[in-house]
């Protein structure tokens, strides 16, 4: 983004942005940048807090008239990373003990996902590869990959494999918002990848792909680097 800002400025377009890594902004020197000391992946700070997010955007756009570039201003609020402490989410009981644990678990979360969808007025991050009714199908392919299939053999390429993982994660985290007693920063992410059947399935699928020397792009981004 910082590099693109220089390109746009050279074309006569004023730019402004948000930095989460101060050293990077200091090195590239984009024209106008608000540095937010927030966890990576949370450029607006607090999920679901419209007032706080608006304050961040307002501070960013207030830099737009500045001509004494490069400008790097710190947002006055710091949010500490909480990813090491997963959310506490009581999971629904298993209804189909003969089904794969990840599939049974995902089906059990449907009511929580639907409640969150209603609470947010229909907003969801699902849709890269499937809607909510297609989540089980995506998990089934992850099970095949864990069992030794390549992403090509299940009908994916690196981009679609990553998008499928993101859809599955979005479904779980949005359901988790209705179940968790703490949802700060990366806590839901850590809960998903370390405490759910499906999150652990994705990590095992990724690890198996690494051992088989499968596509490096997919193995790098199937799960966040912070969730080793």
Identify whether the C-beta of residue 34 lies closer than 8 Å to the C-beta of residue 56.
Answer: yes
The predicted-structure confidence for 16-71, as pLDDT tens digits, reads as follows 999 988 888 888 889 999 999 887 678 888 877 899 999 999 999 999 999 999 99
- Cα–Cα distances in Å, from 153 out to 69, 96, 135, 161? 51, 28, 19, 12
Q: What is the mean pLDDT of the chain?
A: 88
pLDDT of residue 67: 92
The predicted-structure confidence for 16-31, as pLDDT tens digits, reads as follows 999 988 888 888 889 9
pLDDT of residue 224: 80
The model carries a pTM of 0.67
Question: Which of 6-15, 38-47, 149-158, 212-221 reaches the highest mean pLDDT?
Answer: 149-158
* Least reliable range by pLDDT among 102-116, 128-142, 168-182, 184-198: 184-198
pLDDT of residue 85: 61
Question: Which of 17-26, 46-55, 98-107, 181-190 reaches the highest mean pLDDT?
Answer: 98-107
The predicted-structure confidence for 119-146, as pLDDT tens digits, reads as follows 999 999 999 999 999 999 999 999 999 9
User: What value does the mean pLDDT take over residues 147-153?
Assistant: 95
213: CB partners within 8 A, 6+ apart: none
Residue 4 reports pLDDT greater than 90: no
pLDDT of residue 164: 97
| Percent share of the chain, pLDDT over 90 | 58
């Amino acid at each position: 983004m910082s590099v693109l800002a220089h390109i746009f400025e050279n074309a006569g377009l004023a730019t402004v942005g948000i930095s989460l890594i101060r050293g990077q902004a200091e090195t590239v020197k984009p024209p106008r940048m608000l540095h937010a000391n927030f966890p990576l992946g949370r450029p607006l700070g607090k999920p679901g807090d419209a007032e706080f997010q608006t304050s961040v955007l307002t501070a960013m756009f207030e830099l737009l008239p500045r001509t004494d570039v490069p400008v790097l201003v710190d947002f006055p609020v710091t949010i500490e990373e909480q990813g090491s402490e997963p959310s506490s989410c009581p999971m629904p009981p298993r209804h189909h003990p003969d089904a794969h644990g990840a599939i049974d678990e995902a089906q059990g979360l449907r009511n929580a996902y639907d409640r969150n969808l209603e609470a947010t007025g229909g907003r969801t991050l699902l849709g890269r590869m499937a809607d909510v009714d297609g989540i089980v199908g995506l998990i089934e392919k992850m099970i095949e990959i864990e069992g030794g299939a390549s992403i090509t053999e299940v009908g994916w390429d690196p981009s679609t494999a990553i998008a499928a993982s993101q859809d599955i994660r979005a479904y779980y985290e949005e359901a988790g918002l209705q179940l968790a007693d703490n949802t700060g920063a990366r806590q839901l992410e850590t809960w998903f990848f370390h405490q759910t059947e499906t999150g652990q399935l994705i990590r095992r699928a990724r690890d198996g792909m690494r051992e088989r020397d499968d596509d490096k792009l997919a193995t790098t981004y199937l799960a966040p680097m912070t969730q080793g």
